Structure 1
């Protein structure tokens, strides 16, 4: 599961969490508050949201 605290990484520009076996749960809404985030890849996981 991706922790909600990921939204505290305010300088984050690239988030690549792809194909991690066993990764499940909701995509934290806080990810979408990271204004510096330019690229996000959450493919090939069992995430929802």
Structure 2
């Protein structure tokens, strides 16, 4: 389960990087969404759900 979560986080990190010209205008949307997912995962880990 943790390996799958790690792979998803790595893919989200790669997708949040503004590496292409059309994605530079997206602002904080992709990285903000990734931050929200990371916060949820950390809370679930602290509570012992995962």
TM-score calculated relative to the size of structure 2: 0.31
Greater helix percent: which structure? 2
Larger Rg: 2
Query: Highest relative contact order (Cα 8 Å, sep 6+), 1 or 2?
Result: 1
- More strand per residue: 1 or 2? 1
